[in-house]
Amino acid sequence: MPVYKLTYFNLGALAEPIRWAFKLAEVDFEDERIEREDWPALKKSGRFPSENMPLLEIDGEVFTQSSAILRYLGNKFGLTVDDEIQRLRLDQVIDITTDVRPSFRAYFFEADPEKKEKARLTIVNEVVPLYLRQIEGIVIKTDGPYIAGSKLTYGDLSLTAALNVWIGVGVITEAQLQEAYPATAKLREAVLNVPQIKAWLEVRPKTTF
């Protein structure tokens, strides 16, 4: 059995669907969490090829890029589907949530209060609705509750983790998600109630998202 070590901030965010994949497969991994104040020095240490996280080490070999890592584990652990069109839907949803990230970065790292509030309102009123409409249109095509119907996949893990971030930072509430995007809300609820994930959420370090 390979030795896995996952390194990320003490957050869910980009690393959380990777953690969920390990939990679903019942595969042990080291969950290394970096405090934000330690990151500036660490990222220049030479350990992080892209000076970014998450980082997954497999028997000591270093891999980066959260979506690539998640797809690899999804394929390895059976969290995928054989049908090519269904796989295209999974990857489409992952890429949609990836497209949202620059708007969040602009909001998180803006120091000017007035500009920060403007960035937040843009996310709330324009960015999140645009992308959630796309996601809802994909999810609603299936019998549910997941993107590929009854099969839980890496795409569902990625989407649910992204939704948790959006809810955690307050750009949409659970009630708003349920009202405006019911199929997407149902998917998120189904993922969070998978026994292995539910058990992990009860014991994981408590963070905002």
Tens digit of each residue's pLDDT (9 = 90 or more) over 157-170 = 999 999 999 999 99
Query: What is the rounded end-to-end Cα distance, in angstroms, of the chain?
Result: 31
Sign of the four-CA dihedral 135, 125, 11, 59: positive
Average pLDDT, the chain: 96
208 pLDDT tier (thresholds 50, 70, 90): confident
Residue 56 confidence (pLDDT): 99
**Can you read off the two tokens belonging to residue 109?**
């790292």
Residue 184 confidence (pLDDT): 98
- The CATH code belonging to domain 4-78+196-203 is 3.40.30.10
Kind plus residue range of the DSSP H or E element containing 9: strand 4-9
Residue type, 128: V
**Can you read off the two tokens belonging to residue 159?**
């989407």
Give residue limits of the domains in the chain.
4-78+196-203, 84-194
- Indicate yes or no: pTM above 0.75: yes
Pick the CATH number of 84-194 from 3.40.50.300, 3.40.50.150, 2.40.50.1020, 1.20.1050.10: 1.20.1050.10
Window from 7-16, 19-28, 38-47, 86-95 with minimum mean pLDDT: 38-47
3-state class (DSSP) for residue 112: coil
What does the pLDDT average to over 158-186? 97
CA angle, residues 78, 162, 153, in degrees to nearest 5: 15
* Residue 29, CB-side half-sphere exposure with 13 Å CA sphere: 26
Residue 105 confidence (pLDDT): 86
pLDDT tens digits for range 42-68: 999 999 999 999 999 999 999 999 999
3-state class (DSSP) for residue 81: coil
- Given a cut of 90, whether residue 126 has pLDDT beyond it is yes
What does the pLDDT average to over 9-22? 98
CA angle, residues 35, 123, 120, in degrees to nearest 5: 65
**Can you read off the two tokens belonging to residue 101?**
């990230």
154 pLDDT tier (thresholds 50, 70, 90): very high
Residue 49 confidence (pLDDT): 93
